[in-house]
Amino acid sequence: MDNRHVLHISVADQKMLVTDQGQPVATYPISTSKFGLSSRPGSYGTPLGKHRVLKKIGHGLPPGAVFKSRRFTGEVLPVDAPGRDPIVARILWLEGKEGQNRNSFGRYIYIHGTPEERNIGLPVSYGCIRMRSRDVIALFDRVGLGTRVDIFREPLAERLPKLVPLGGVAAPAVPAPQPVRFAGSRLAAPREL
């Protein structure tokens, strides 16, 4: 149970602030729902309020790994692949902790990667919290099951004024993922150069 980390998600900023024992350690651009805020089934809205990470899916898979029904399909998409919008890279499946959002787990509300990275920072999802593949992989590796997640309307600086100084919090550098070569839909070992 991860009691150290909290993921603070601002719909106004389309950003996530990660804290470790109350101290900011990273910020990431994200995307919430294009259908607005809602916990109603079938609304495709992003639910507000307190959540926690109940399941983590995708450990060790490459960036761009495509999921269908939370299973790796064997396909890996490049960033901004045309005409495709599946869940990729990692899934952090959220459980709602308050009356209005208790159905988040049953609504399949995730924090996950998207191949449509050009749209990160805009509300374009179908209810989930979208991230760039490299960012969701870094987040997945940093936080554990039980990590608290707070999704709110306000800007980060308004909601957390002591943690977000004027100008915001800089995200730490995330190393670029190493390319992986593929033969068909099966993983292949990289060739020596």
Residue 79 lies in a domain: yes
192 assigned to some structural domain:
no
Exposure string over 34-65, b if 16+ CB within 10 A, otherwise e: eeebbbeeebbbbbbbebbbeebbbeebbbbb
pLDDT tens-place string over residues 92-131: 999 999 999 999 999 999 999 999 999 999 999 999 999 9
Please, which pLDDT band fits residue 82 given cuts at 50, 70 and 90?
confident
Kindly report the CATH number assigned to the domain that includes residue 79: 2.40.440.10
pLDDT digits (tens, 9 = 90+) for 5-60: 999 999 999 999 999 999 999 999 999 999 999 999 999 999 999 999 999 999 99
Q: What is the reported pLDDT for 84? A: 78
Q: Is residue 25 part of a domain?
A: yes
- Specify the number of domains making up the chain: 1
Please give the helix or strand (H or E) that residue 5 lies within, else none: strand 5-10
Sequence-distant (6+) residues with CB within 8 A of 161 are none
Contact 27, 157 (CB under 8 A): no
Q: 193 lies in a domain?
A: no
Domain of 27, in residue numbers:
5-187
Q: What is the pTM of this model?
A: 0.83
Averaged confidence pLDDT in the chain: 87
Question: Per the domain annotation, does 105 fall within a domain?
Answer: yes
What are the Cα distances from residue 45, in Å, to 33, 40, 54, 113?
6, 8, 20, 18
149: closest CA among 180, 103, 107, 109?
A: 109
Q: Would you put residue 106 in left (φ > 0), alpha (ψ -120 to 50) or beta?
A: alpha
